[in-house]
Amino acid sequence: MLPQQSGTSARGTWNKQEFVIETEEQYPKKICISAWNERAAEVAQIPVNTPVKVSVNIESREYNGRWYTDVRVWNIQVVSGQAIDPEYTGGYSDMPPQSAQPYASQPAENAPLPDAGDELPF
């Protein structure tokens, strides 16, 4: 958990709490996430190293020719009663697995391919 920040803007006072999570994958990744105002207080109550499920919004913006990306939490849940398997290589998800659907622009099976002639695509 990084130090909490606060200040005053044209819209009033604000609080920001940044924290770092580590994904549970074969190659874990660390992600710095920011929580604002009421979410900042909520995040501050969660003990360090507690497994959580985080829902975020990701947004990038350009400033002076450079791009900055902000990852903001909009929902955070403590994963309680769930044992963490060290061999588990996925994330937490309430969504069932989805089957792959073909793109609408793909030709139907056994459809003839367009004749390209002797031209190479490069």
Residue 41 is which amino acid?
Answer: A
Q: In degrees rounded to 5, what are phi and psi of residue 120?
A: -95, 150
Which class does domain 5-78 fall in? mainly beta
Beta bridge mates, 10: none
**73 burial type by CB count under 10 A (0-12 exposed, 13-18 middle, 19+ buried):** buried
* Direct distance between the N- and C-terminal alpha carbons of the chain, in angstroms, rounded to an integer: 51
* Domain ranges, ordered by start, for the chain: 5-78
Residue 8 is which amino acid?
Answer: T
pTM of the model: 0.60
pLDDT in single tens digits along all 122 residues of the chain? 889 999 998 999 999 999 999 998 899 999 999 999 999 999 989 998 899 999 999 999 999 999 999 999 999 999 875 544 444 334 444 444 433 444 444 444 555 555 555 565 54
